[in-house]
Structure 1
Amino acid sequence: PLSAWIDLRLTSPRFNMLLVGLFAAVALLLSLTGVYGVVAYVVARRRREIGIRKALGAEGARVAREFLRRGSLVVAFGVVLGILAALATTRLMTSMLFGVSPTDPLTFAAIAVLITGTALLATWVPARRAAGVSVMDVLREE
Structure 2
Amino acid sequence: MSERIDLSLASRRTSMLLANAFGGVALFLASLGIYGVLAYLVAQRTREIGIRVALGSSRAGILRLVLQEGFKLVAMGFVLGIVGAALLQKGVASQIYGVRPYDPVVLAGVMALLAGIALVACAVPARRAMGVDPVVVLRYE
- Shorter-chain TM range is 0.7 to 0.9
> Deviations along 1:75-131, whole A, 9 cap, x unmatched?
223212212212322333224434443533233222212222233333343233323
Matched, 1:84 2:83: yes
The structure-2 alpha-carbon separation of the partners of 1:98 and 1:139, relative to structure 1 and needing over 3 Å to count, comes to farther
Aligned to 1:26: 25
Q: Which amino acid aligns with 2:55?
A: L
The structure-2 alpha-carbon separation of the partners of 1:114 and 1:42, relative to structure 1 and needing over 3 Å to count, comes to farther
The structure-2 alpha-carbon separation of the partners of 1:128 and 1:17, relative to structure 1 and needing over 3 Å to count, comes to closer
Determine helix, strand or coil for the equivalent of 2:100.
Answer: coil
Determine helix, strand or coil for the equivalent of 1:133.
Answer: coil
Aligned to 1:66: 65
The structure-2 alpha-carbon separation of the partners of 1:124 and 1:107, relative to structure 1 and needing over 3 Å to count, comes to same
The structure-2 alpha-carbon separation of the partners of 1:29 and 1:16, relative to structure 1 and needing over 3 Å to count, comes to same
TM-score where L is the length of structure 2: 0.75
| RMSD after superposition | 2.8
8 Å CA contact 2:32–2:121 kept in 1: the answer is no
Say how many residue pairs are matched: 141
8 Å CA contact 1:90–1:102 kept in 2: the answer is yes
Determine helix, strand or coil for the equivalent of 2:56.
Answer: coil
Rounded to whole Å, the distance in 2 between the matches of 1:127 and 1:95 is: 43
8 Å CA contact 2:90–2:101 kept in 1: the answer is yes
> Deviations along 1:2-36, whole A, 9 cap, x unmatched?
x73x5554433333233222222222222222222
Identity score, percent: 49
Structure 2 runs not aligned, ≥5 long:
none
Rounded to whole Å, the distance in 2 between the matches of 1:125 and 1:115 is: 16
Rounded to whole Å, the distance in 2 between the matches of 1:58 and 1:10 is: 60
Matches within 5 A, 1:62-141: 62-141=61-140
8 Å CA contact 1:91–1:102 kept in 2: the answer is yes
8 Å CA contact 1:51–1:131 kept in 2: the answer is no
